[in-house]
Chains A and B, each alone.
Chain A
Amino acid sequence: MIKILDIVIAGLLMGGIYALVAVGLSLQYGVARVLNVAHGEFIMLGAFITWSLYTLAGINPLVSLVICGPTVFIIGFILYRTVFTRLRTMSASPAAFEGNSMLACFSLLFIIQNVAILIWGAELKGYSYLPFAVNIAGAKFAANRLVTLGFALAIGVIFYLFLARTRLGKAIRAAAQDAGTAGLVGVNINHVLALCFGFGALMAGLAGTLLSMSYEIQPAMGLEYTVIALVVIVLGGLGSIPGSFIGGFILGLVGSIVIYIEPGLALVAYYVIFIVLLLVKPQGILGK
């Protein structure tokens, strides 16, 4: 009984991070139509900025959330206004834009990763923050992972409310449905799409900060998270925030079950889910 609870809670803790990572990508792909394969690099940037602030200046990682988020947001926003806006006007069709922008993201992946290696070196890095254990119903969990889960949920809820309740959120949802028509009814489409891409990067940055509290980090870590995010958004349905959270938690649970049975197969299991889903139900569990 304790064992099962153990696996479930470990899965939820992992799932929270997966969900947060996926929300950003879901926004970038669902609204801005950019399949950002460099998404993981923004996570890595967030993680390394937090690491630097903590080890060099002694700044609390939770304070870093406020620094990392906006920094990465600005990078994302500027990238969209320069690179992707140009690609969007240049591409003949939406499909051509998706292909071109994905390739541009690959080049960003190389560039960002190389810059990170030049700044921070290629080795694994880590620091310890809230490393003590917390007892939940007889099972022990690291405090930093619980804090991570709490923040991931809070960020998700805040963002969901922002999309559902504010005027800008409405504009974003309109742009997600039909960018052209949204432009016709007075939404400044270039601005909104760039904001969306920025928000996606912001989510990645926050996820990076939270991740760095409990996992080791290195410049090449990005791609693994990108792939996990892809699996989650395919699982939950492209562009759906509740879907990302449900997908994230499902994947976290699956991961923790597989790790319990055979630790080496977790990634293989994710890809199997991914591939089967694409074949059977590519629109995801919450998709129409």
Chain B
Amino acid sequence: MDMSALTSRKFVVSGLLILILFAFLVTLPLSFPGYTIVLFSTIFMYVILTLGWVMFSGPTGYISLATAAFFGVGVYTSAIIGIALPLPLVIAIGGAASFCLALLVGALTLRLRGTYFIMFTFGLVELILHFVLWWEVTITGTTGRMVPTVGNTTVYYLMLILFVFLLLTAYLIKRSRRGLALQSIGEYEDAAAHTGVNVTMVKVTTFAISAFFMGAAGAIMATRWTYIDPKIAFNPLLSFMPVVMAIFGGMGQLYGPVIGAALLTYLEQFLITRFPYYYMLIFGIIMLVVILYLPEGLAGLIQKLWQRTFGRKHEVT
């Protein structure tokens, strides 16, 4: 990325935009009704899952469908230890549990490439889901658990804080040696290994860091749902949605997945309330159209429009 006068002006503009956005987000619960706060918490959930997913899968090209597993581990952590411990600690433990699971999974599987990796991560979610289901039905005898609630505004602020942390982490990783290493793994893994990148190490740790945020988000969301069972916590849809949202938003820039997740979540909520019977149909069609006609996502579209209006070459980092 070149550091010319143009980029510094761009920094000022985008910095101002981000400040305004965060001022709006921080004061939002003061001036909007409960419904909006709940909607924004859901949006944050998907934004965190999507951004976390992009952090690892974006540059490396490894499509992980294990998001639901990491999220669900967080949800269950919250359900099991939520009563005994203070919430921030619960969230940290939920994230840490997912982090450890991801380390284990990563160490086992990241030697798998392409479709085998996708299938493995998908199988993992289903394995955990059915195992927990069986465990609850036959060993403990009850399906589902209650989680103590903390109120919508608290959930909102917790999600906002987690989102800020994730955004900073994602930005720092993208701009660091690790980010470059991930990029080179995505372009040509063997070459990356030959130029001295510790390929397995970089992949596994980044995978685990992204899982931490997914688990923490799960631990927070559990307190909003109050009742959870394996089918809610390990819902495979939570693995697919971040992928669609990331592609819809475009993975080249960090704002892509954020915009993609926010817009699609809003659309999803809108469709569920307005067209409950056609929601999956409409969503599927939108997804198909995006894959077919918008492979670069919204971020790609925005850059194209930017170029057309300002006529300058806008370098993709």
Contacts and interface: CB of A to CB of B under 8 A. Distances in A.
Interface in B106-159: 108-109, 112, 114-116, 118-120, 122-124, 126-127, 130-131, 133-134, 137-138
Interface in B276-301: 277-281, 283-285, 287-288, 291-292, 295
B244 interface: yes
A262 B118 CA distance: 29
Interface in A106-123: 106-111, 113-115, 117-118
A176 B62 CA distance: 24
A278 B116 contact: yes
A278 B119 contact: yes
A271 B130 contact: yes
A111 B281 CA distance: 5
B284 A109 contact: yes
A238 to B, nearest CB: 9
Contacts of A113: 280
A233 to B, nearest CB: 10
What 5 A-B pairs are tightest by C-beta distance, nearest first?
A110-B284, A271-B127, A111-B284, A107-B287, A114-B281
Interface in A209-267: 223, 227, 230-231, 234, 262, 264-265, 267
Contacts, number: 110
Nearest to B124: A275
Contacts of B281: 110-111, 114-115, 118
A187 B57 CA distance: 36
A201 to B, nearest CB: 17
A103 interface: yes
A275 B127 contact: yes
A51 interface: no
A12 interface: no
Contact of A275 (B118, B123, B288): B123
A107 B291 contact: yes
8 contacts: A35-B115, A35-B119, A100-B295, A114-B284, A223-B236, A227-B126, A271-B126, A271-B127
B130 A278 contact: no
Interface in A79-134: 83, 86-87, 90, 95, 98-100, 102-104, 106-111, 113-115, 117-118
Nearest to A224: B126
B288 A278 contact: no
Given A90-B295, A268-B131, A111 B288 contact: yes
A278 B287 contact: no
Interface in B153-179: none
Contacts of A264: 133-134, 137-138
A267 B126 contact: yes
Given A100-B291, A107-B291, A230-B119, 18 more contacts: A35-B115, A87-B291, A95-B114, A99-B63, A102-B118, A107-B285, A110-B284, A110-B287, A118-B281, A227-B123, A234-B119, A265-B134, A267-B126, A268-B134, A271-B130, A272-B127, A274-B127, A278-B116
A279 interface: yes
A282 interface: yes
Nearest to B127: A271
A104 B240 CA distance: 11
Given A98-B115, A282-B116, A104 B291 contact: yes
A103 B123 contact: no
B43 interface: no
A212 to B, nearest CB: 23
Contact of B244 (A103, A111, A231, A282): A103
Contacts of A99: 61, 63, 118
A278 B127 CA distance: 14
B20 to A, nearest CB: 34
A223 B280 CA distance: 15
A69 B220 CA distance: 48
In this complex, the member of A100, A109, A271 whose beta carbon has the largest number of chain B beta carbons within 10 angstroms is A271
A203 B148 CA distance: 49
Contacts of B243: 103
Nearest to B280: A114
B138 A104 contact: no
A99 B223 CA distance: 35
Nearest to A234: B119
Nearest to A112: B284
A95 B277 CA distance: 35
A252 B279 CA distance: 36
B204 interface: no
B247 interface: yes
A271 B108 CA distance: 16
Interface in A141-168: none
A268 B63 contact: no
B140 to A, nearest CB: 13
A103 B297 CA distance: 14
Interface in A9-48: 29, 35
B118 A278 contact: no
Contacts of B115: 29, 35, 98, 102
B108 A111 contact: no
B163 to A, nearest CB: 25
A255 B123 CA distance: 17
In this complex, the member of B63, B119, B120, B122 whose beta carbon has the largest number of chain A beta carbons within 10 angstroms is B119
Nearest to A272: B127
